[in-house]
Amino acid sequence: MEGTGLMRETLVEGAEMSRRGTGTVSTDPASVSTEAFVEAMRVQATAVNLVTSDGPGGKTGVTVSAMASVSAEPPLILACVNRRSPSVAAIRRNGVFCINALSAEQDGLADTFAGRPSSGVPFDFRAARWTTLETGSPVLVDAVANLDCVIHEMVEAGSHTIFIGRVVRAQHRQVKPLVYCDRVYGAPGPLSR
């Protein structure tokens, strides 16, 4: 707790110095370039998910790496989807979505639902087997995990809509997840030390 207090003081002092023009800390620095941002994100490993939805807004699916757990009580999860994607309007209208975490065997599906399949039709649900759980959103069979959600909150942030979902059903399998790093798909393994 003491440490936190010290950190706050230091930051506030920094902000004061900046306002007075006597320090080097700025409270409102310019954004980093898009290139620098993308490069710093590119080298990080992420899981790969299909965010799917069905209902009055239509059936939709999109590949998303920007997914994170938000809260365990209540169980909340988030996914960030570019507003250029037709999925945004569909998910918003349907009020529900499912996060399907892909297994290492499902890299082809990641490309299908990113609109760049090596064969077949982009965004084609016939490329995999599906079921449903609670919300009616497509639930991918053989995924690492399926998290069926109702929309808890939506936040507009830059180019993306952040969908925060309350998880109403969850299931998982003990298989290797698909990871994406440096624009290449892979699978995690233990370090050989």
| Chain positions contacting ligand FMN, by CB under 6 A | 48, 62-66, 80-82, 85, 110, 114-115, 180
Q: Which is nearer to ligand FMN, 10 or 44 (CB)?
A: 44
* Helical H segments across the chain, by residue range: 2-20, 34-42, 86-94, 107-112
Q: Which is nearer to ligand FMN, 183 or 193 (CB)?
A: 183
Q: Residue 12 CB, nearest distance to ligand FMN (Å)?
A: 35
Q: Residue 1 CB, nearest distance to ligand FMN (Å)?
A: 36
Distances (CA, A) of 25 to 5, 9, 16, 31, 47: 19, 14, 9, 15, 35
Q: Residue 155 CB, nearest distance to ligand FMN (Å)?
A: 14
Q: Which is nearer to ligand FMN, 97 or 180 (CB)?
A: 180
Amino acid at 113: F
Q: Cβ-closest residue to ligand FMN?
A: 115
Alpha-carbon span 28 to 30, nearest angstrom: 7
Q: Which is nearer to ligand FMN, 110 or 145 (CB)?
A: 110
Locate 23 and state its tokens.
């320090």
Q: Which is nearer to ligand FMN, 25 or 66 (CB)?
A: 66
Q: Residue 38 CB, nearest distance to ligand FMN (Å)?
A: 12
Q: Residue 76 CB, nearest distance to ligand FMN (Å)?
A: 17
Residue from 173, 169, 183, 182 nearest 105 by CA: 173
Distances (CA, A) of 6 to 1, 10, 13, 16, 68: 9, 6, 11, 15, 30
